[in-house]
Chain A
Amino acid sequence: MAALQLKTVLAGLLLAALTACSSVAPKYTLVPDNINRLRDSGMESTRLGEFSAAPGNPSDVNKLSIRGGAYLSPYEGSYVNYLKEALRMELDEARLLNPNANVELSGFVLRNELNAAGFSISDAQIEARFVVKRDGQVRFDKVLSAKYEWESHFVGAIAIPRAQQNYPMVVQKLLSALWADKDFISAVKK
């Protein structure tokens, strides 16, 4: 009887150690190096067009979880909006956002994953197709991706907050890749 009770307690503890309640991702934080790179790029003012999940994508890019607990986007529950807001924030900070611009940046989120089950390493991966149009003509159409890894832990009380706080880094990496892409810069240059 005592062994059964202990096993029940253990199962409860394991569950508490490994799983989470639902949580909300931190809002995007701009990357200073990205802003200076944009301001030095000679890029023309740009407006943001449509962003959406890639049509026909079997995985729901707007749904993430961390050890069983839902991990929600702070932007109307949408990770597509998370990416769009990140782009808006960095372009605006670089004084390059103009709703009336001739250059338009739009895109599709192809993949958005957070793998926090690992006891030693966890990671987030994102992939998006970015399209630049100038006066309605496509000037850039490319798929870019980013992966970010961090040290994880067996105990959920440590691993879950780490995962919650590290997801934005993968979006920062994706934006860094976009702003550094030579074809992108050529397409948006004045």
Chain B
Amino acid sequence: MRALTKVAVVLLAGLFFGCAHPIVITPDVSRLERNEVQPIACNVGYVITDADRELAVETPGGGGDKVKYYPYKELDPALFKVFSNVFQRAYSMKSPSDAALVKANDIRFIFVPRIKTDSSSTGVFTWPPTDFTIELSCKALGADGTVVWEKTFTGTGHAEFGEFKTDLPLAAKRASLQVMQAFQQGVNAAPELRAQAGKP
């Protein structure tokens, strides 16, 4: 009887308290439309270091639980899609100082993104976040390493239980889609990038 009670306590603890539930925050990248941009005729790189790619982040979910995800790794496909939509070619770089890659692929700008996230939930009995925020700060470096463009974008997502019960990270996916759509508009509308893209 005492053993059964212990098992019950462990199960309850495992089920309801202190878990970091894995979620994936990648948005539906097919909604980052290529026909919404005016392409810029040059190749670009974007930097995600190995350390950033493996960076796991935990932020609050509901009922005292947390959610765990990998912001850089999981937003990589969306970053690639934005750059691939706006520019001729996009290349992932592990470091901004990879001169060989820059030369081999005629890379004109190197984008360096920084990502901050937060989440919360109004739910007491469910762990998925009902609200999610992503802040994407990004600077573009020119061939000489100077910053030619820099801007910050924010995306927010909200999802109720009725919506996220079949798609648990829905609030996060809505936030990531919103921030990436804003990012694409921002890059597309940057006169600094268009002006420098064609310079010899």
Contacts and interface: CB of A to CB of B under 8 A. Distances in A.
A binds B: yes
Interface of A: 3, 6-7, 9-10, 13-14, 16-17, 21-24, 26-27, 29-33, 35-36, 39, 89, 93, 154-155, 157-158, 161-162, 164-165
A165 B22 CA distance: 8
Given A27-B28, A35-B80, A161 B23 contact: yes
A10 B15 contact: no
B194 interface: no
A165 B21 contact: no
Interface string B166-196: 1110000000000000000000000000000
Contacts of B29: 29-30
Secondary structure at the A interface, as helix, strand, loop or mixed, is: helix
Nearest to A39: B89
A67 to B, nearest CB: 14
Contact of A32 (B76, B165, B168): B76
Given A30-B81, A36-B91, A10 B7 contact: yes
A93 B81 contact: yes
B162 interface: no
Interface in B130-177: 165-168
B95 interface: no
A161 B8 contact: no
B4 to A, nearest CB: 6
Nearest to B77: A29
Contacts of B166: 22-24
A14 B77 contact: no
A6 B92 contact: no
Interface string B71-108: 00000110011001000011110000000000000000
A101 to B, nearest CB: 19
B89 A36 contact: yes
